[in-house]
Amino acid sequence: MPPFYFLKCTNMAGYISTYCTVSRHQIWVNGKTVFEEEGTEKEVDEFLIAAHRHFKIKYPKFYKMDVLSRLAFIASEMLLSTDTLKNDSVNSQTSIILCNRSSTVVTDVKHQKNIQKEQGGIPSPATFVYTLPNIMIGEMSIRHRLTGESVLFISETFPVNAVVQYSNFMIDQGICNSCLCGWVEVSLNYYHAFLYVVKSEEKLVKRTIYPHTSETIQKLYLSNH
Amino acid sequence: MDTLITQLRAQIIEHLNLDDIQPSDVGADDPLFGDDGLGLDSIDALEVVVLLDEHYGIKVDDPNEINESFASLRTLAEFIKQNQSINATAVTE
The predicted-structure confidence for A168-178, as pLDDT tens digits, reads as follows 998 888 888 88
CB contact under 8 A, A60 and B21: yes
Average confidence (pLDDT) over A136-144: 93
For residue A110, with 0-12 CB atoms within 10 Å meaning exposed, 13-18 middle and 19 or more buried, which class applies? middle
- pLDDT value for A207: 58
pLDDT above 70: residue A194: yes
pLDDT-above-70 percentage for chain A: 83
pLDDT band per the 50, 70, 90 thresholds, residue B39: confident
Average confidence (pLDDT) over A94-104: 96
CB contact under 8 A, A60 and B46: no
SS3 A193: strand
Distance of alpha carbon A70 from alpha carbon A49, whole angstroms: 8
**A214 within 8 A of A36, measured Cβ to Cβ:** no
Residue with the bigger pLDDT between B89 and A24: it is A24
- Which chain A residues are closer than 8 Å to B20 by Cβ? 60, 63
SS3 A159: coil
- pLDDT value for A133: 96
CB contact under 8 A, A64 and B50: no
- pLDDT value for B57: 87
**A137 within 8 A of A98, measured Cβ to Cβ:** yes
Average confidence (pLDDT) over A26-51: 88
pLDDT above 80: residue A1: no
Distance of alpha carbon A139 from alpha carbon A145, whole angstroms: 10
Distance of alpha carbon A199 from alpha carbon A18, whole angstroms: 10
CB contact under 8 A, B50 and A124: yes
Amino acid identity at B84: Q
- Which chain B residues are closer than 8 Å to A129 by Cβ? 43
SS3 A12: coil
Alpha carbon A80 to its chain centroid, in Å, reads 11
B44/chain A closest Cα distance in angstroms:
7
The pairs formed by A185-191 with CB atoms below 8 angstroms and a separation of 24 or more are A185/A100, A185/A101, A185/A102, A186/A44, A186/A67, A186/A68, A186/A71, A186/A100, A186/A102, A186/A105, A186/A106, A187/A101, A187/A102, A187/A105, A187/A106, A188/A105, A188/A106, A188/A109, A191/A22, A191/A23, A191/A44, A191/A67, A191/A71
Task: Return mean pLDDT, chain A.
Answer: 85
Residue with the bigger pLDDT between B66 and B85: it is B66
DSSP string, A100-112: ESSTTHHHHHHHH
pLDDT above 60: residue A135: yes
**A65 within 8 A of A149, measured Cβ to Cβ:** no
Burial A16-52 (b: 16+ CB within 10 A, else e): bbbbbbbbebbbbbbeeeebebeeeeeebbebbbebb
Ranking A109-123, A184-198, A211-225 by mean pLDDT, the lowest is A109-123
Smallest Cβ distance to B20: which of A60, A124, A125? A60
pLDDT band per the 50, 70, 90 thresholds, residue B90: very low
- pLDDT value for B66: 78
- pLDDT value for A145: 86
- Which chain A residues are closer than 8 Å to B47 by Cβ? 124-126
Average confidence (pLDDT) over A146-171: 93
Smallest Cβ distance to B16: which of A49, A64, A129? A64
Q: Which of A48, A13, A71 is nearest to A195 (CA)?
A: A71
CB contact under 8 A, A63 and B17: yes
A126/chain B closest Cα distance in angstroms:
6
Choose the most confident range, by mean pLDDT, from A11-25, A32-46, A132-146.
A132-146
Burial A183-212 (b: 16+ CB within 10 A, else e): bbbbeeeebbbbbbbbbbeeeeeeeebbeb
CB contact under 8 A, A126 and B16: yes
Total beta-carbon pairs less than 8 A apart between chain A and chain B: 31
pLDDT band per the 50, 70, 90 thresholds, residue A147: confident
Distance of alpha carbon A78 from alpha carbon A88, whole angstroms: 14
pLDDT above 90: residue A13: no
pLDDT-above-70 percentage for chain B: 90
> By CA distance, what is A65's nearest residue in B?
B17
Distance of alpha carbon A68 from alpha carbon A108, whole angstroms: 11
- Which chain B residues are closer than 8 Å to A125 by Cβ? 43, 46-47, 50
- pLDDT value for B83: 85
B48/chain A closest Cα distance in angstroms:
10
Average confidence (pLDDT) over B69-75: 92
- pLDDT value for B77: 93
- pLDDT value for A203: 46
pLDDT above 70: residue A131: yes
| Chain A (198-217) residues lying within 8 Å, Cβ to Cβ, of chain B | none
Pairing status of strand A94-100 against strand A178-187: parallel
pLDDT above 70: residue B84: yes
- pLDDT value for B88: 47
